[in-house]
Structure 1
Amino acid sequence: MQQIANSLIGLVQKIESTEGAEEDKVAAKSFLRELISNPIVASILGGATSGIFSLLT
């Protein structure tokens, strides 16, 4: 599970560092927020969800 959490954190960091439009970055982070809000995904990730959520704000 830790590998999944680390991959999602890396993805958030890559979204932030890309030269894409801010609107696209917001949409991508919103999609990730929705994904990790899913009860099944959240139960798999466990406590890592709070760390990922903090990166998405």
Structure 2
Amino acid sequence: MSTYINLLYDYFVGYPTPERWPEELQNNPVAGHGRYAFEEGFRLGVLLMLESTAGELLWP
């Protein structure tokens, strides 16, 4: 993989932290980390979308 992709992954996703997983996924580390990574990626995507369309949303 690209060095930039690895740096971004480590910054935004990082190592598995069970404290951030939903309670029902505490015993399933793959699903817990996958859910957390998906939520953070989705949040980042929404923030990028809002940032890129902010001017269009403010003006009719």
Q: Judge same fold: TM > 0.5, yes or no.
A: no
Q: TM-score of the superposition, structure 2-length normalised? A: 0.39
Q: Looking at CA atoms only, which structure, 1 or 2, has the larger radius of gyration?
A: 2
Q: Greater RCO between the two (CA within 8 Å, min separation 6)?
A: 1
